[in-house]
Amino acid sequence: MAQLVDVTRLRALLGLRARLTWRQYAREPGRLLTGIIVILSLTPVVIGIGIATAAGYLALPDPWPAQLLGGVLVFLWFIWLTFPFFIASLNEGLDLSRLMVYPLRRRELILGTLLGSLFDYPTYFMVPLFVAVLVGWGASLALPVVIIALLLCYGHMMLISQLVVAVLGGILQSRRFRDVAIIVGSLLGSSCYFLQLGFQRLVSRLPGEISEEQVLAFRPLLVLQWSPTGAAARAIEQASSGQWGPAVAWLLYSAAWLALVAVVWWALLIRLTTGEGFLIAPPAGKRAAPVAPERHPARERAEFGGRTRSLGRLLPADLVELTAKELKILWRTPQLRVGLLQGIFFPFIMFGAFLFSTGSAFTLPPMAGAVLPVYSLFIFWVSGQNMLGREGAGLSTLFLTPVRRERIFWAKGLTVLLTSGLLFLLVGLVLALLTRGWQSLAGAATGLAMGLASLGVAAVGSVLFPIPINLENRRAQSSFSSGGSCQSGLANLFLIPAAIGLASVPAALPFGLAVWLDQPWLAFLGLPISLAYGLAVFWLGGRLAARLLLPREADVLQVIRKVESRTH
């Protein structure tokens, strides 16, 4: 009889996982620093929760220890289920699509994935909670059931995380699913305030006093037991009371869930690896070959000239084409498109939620318009940062185009002005209608001038501190796992915002004096000066960025190509 698992192959898989983890943190100091901060901040909290739950298992009256156990195990499973959607996968695992070319069996790859998660530090955050379960429930004959149940829970957490990562990979691989999923997730994330209002109204409808009988009759485990890890909690409870038959049945139920998740995850991984598509996509061989559009050089030259004349004769033709290219990329790339949609919907959602919560008769004070310059710093910093890094793998092609380098930065700045800048002016107009004060109009115009200065600083920062971004990545990534250096991460987080603030002070000075002295004419009289200053900083920033880029092109390309080395 052949052995179930080849120990030598499994040891090789774990050794590969260890080397990849070491290289990942060695090449990304920013990620290592983030991990240290997370460990130092969360470890005391997790240990405290473990001590509290152990005390609850030992001291609470029946049936609350079992209810607490079910809540803890289901909550841990829910964390591993939802984190890949909103932040990043807690356990990355090996890229099995690259290992399938080797003579490895399915069980070895799955077991290697489960054991390989031991090299991810978030795995150890569950150790205090698992130890608390052993302390509270293991000092009896039910210890074997407790150990098996905890192993099943560990498998559920690891595999559900890998399944979610595989589903997200399929969504990112399929443009249709990718667009829908990212946009829906964006809108759900922007609706947190409305969810909070709904929760407040639900709580307000609850009775003011809850009787002791209602508390004792509350049994959340009756519902949680049908979840994969809730079944494990029910098995521990049944074994502790001597009911071995139901305990084994609940363990088998949880194991069946684990097998089902493993089968679905493996099947989806096979489809994505072999090119059969995501869920309902037809196989690659059955897809119709795309028909290349017929090109008409004369028509393209006519469209080029017409577009140039329509956008203004003051702008050079190559600058117009570069701006048009940036707008197309912004709309065709789902991640960038969602950022644009979030910027469009966020102000209106916040204003709508604020007005909805305060009543229709509420009116904003005129001084509310004074916050617009501060808001402009934020929106232009977010939209204009890391200009070169957002090109991704296409940066080398962009550098091959025979255009002056400063026009690349000016085109990217014009794109931000045509998207985020127009959005900002629209927000200022809406705020002016709500407040009916001069501060909103003057604040919006001043914020636009400050935005121009911000884009000039951002252009220089994108050359000095580029960060690679993989917009086509199939795995969920956090902002600290892109491959950038610790220096670039800290500079983009602290140094560049500070420089943007300092460069924007002269543009904001007339408006600040007008608000302080309550003299509107100072704000409107100083607007031409502020706009001229913003344009000058924007122009000089592009020129300086181009001059700095000339000797650094090879270094910037090397940084950006870290994305390609991580994905190929």
Chain segment 141-196, per-residue pLDDT in tens: 888 999 999 999 988 888 888 787 777 665 555 555 555 555 555 555 545 555 55
**What value does the mean pLDDT take over residues 247-251?**
91
Dig out the tokens for 520 from the structure.
């509107």
Side-chain-facing half-sphere of 503: CA atoms under 13 Å: 29
- Indicate the range of 72-86, 166-180, 315-329 predicted with least confidence: 166-180
Residue, of 139 and 503, whose pLDDT is higher: 503
What pLDDT, on the 0 to 100 scale, is given for residue 479? 39
Residue, of 70 and 187, whose pLDDT is higher: 70
For the packed helices 334-358 and 422-435, what is the interaxial angle rounded to 10 degrees? 10
Asked if residues 13 and 112 have their Cβ atoms less than 8 Å apart, the reply is yes
pLDDT for residue 508 is more than 80: yes
φ and ψ at 348, to 5 degrees? -70, -35
Dig out the tokens for 42 from the structure.
């969360």
Please identify which residue in the block is written with the tokens 């991990």.
Answer: 35
**What value does the mean pLDDT take over residues 40-56?**
88
* Nearest CA-CA partner of 382 in 546, 542, 497: 497
**What value does the mean pLDDT take over residues 356-364?**
51
pLDDT band with cut points at 50, 70 and 90 for residue 222? confident
Dig out the tokens for 374 from the structure.
């501060």
pLDDT for residue 286 is more than 60: no
Asked if residues 46 and 128 have their Cβ atoms less than 8 Å apart, the reply is yes
What pLDDT, on the 0 to 100 scale, is given for residue 452? 94
Please identify which residue in the block is written with the tokens 């940066």.
Answer: 395
Please identify which residue in the block is written with the tokens 């989806």.
Answer: 268
**What value does the mean pLDDT take over residues 39-68?**
87
**What value does the mean pLDDT take over residues 418-437?**
86
Q: What is the four-CA torsion angle of 328, 330, 335, 340, rounded to 10 degrees?
A: -130
3-state secondary structure labels for all residues of 207-258: CCCCCHHHHHHCCCHHHHCCCHHHHHHHHHHHHHCCCHHHHHHHHHHHHHHH
What pLDDT, on the 0 to 100 scale, is given for residue 180? 53
Dig out the tokens for 29 from the structure.
């100091």
pLDDT band with cut points at 50, 70 and 90 for residue 85? low
Please identify which residue in the block is written with the tokens 């990534």.
Answer: 477
Look at residue 137 and give its three-state secondary structure: helix
What pLDDT, on the 0 to 100 scale, is given for residue 357? 47
What pLDDT, on the 0 to 100 scale, is given for residue 62? 79
* Nearest CA-CA partner of 68 in 80, 76, 56: 56
**pTM listed for this prediction:** 0.55
Instruction: Quote the mean pLDDT of the chain.
Output: 76
Q: Is 28 left (phi over 0), alpha (psi -120 to 50) or beta?
A: beta
Maximum average pLDDT range among 77-91, 285-299, 386-400, 480-494:
386-400
**What value does the mean pLDDT take over residues 469-486?**
52
What pLDDT, on the 0 to 100 scale, is given for residue 477? 43
pLDDT for residue 13 is more than 80: no
Q: Is 404 left (phi over 0), alpha (psi -120 to 50) or beta?
A: beta
**Spatial distance between the Cα atoms of 341 and 346, rounded to a whole number of angstroms:** 8
Dig out the tokens for 280 from the structure.
């309902």
**What value does the mean pLDDT take over residues 347-374?**
64
User: Which residues, 6 or more positions from 169, have their beta carbon under 8 angstroms from its beta carbon?
Assistant: 272, 474, 475
What pLDDT, on the 0 to 100 scale, is given for residue 369? 82
Asked if residues 388 and 466 have their Cβ atoms less than 8 Å apart, the reply is yes
Kind and range of the H or E run holding 476: none
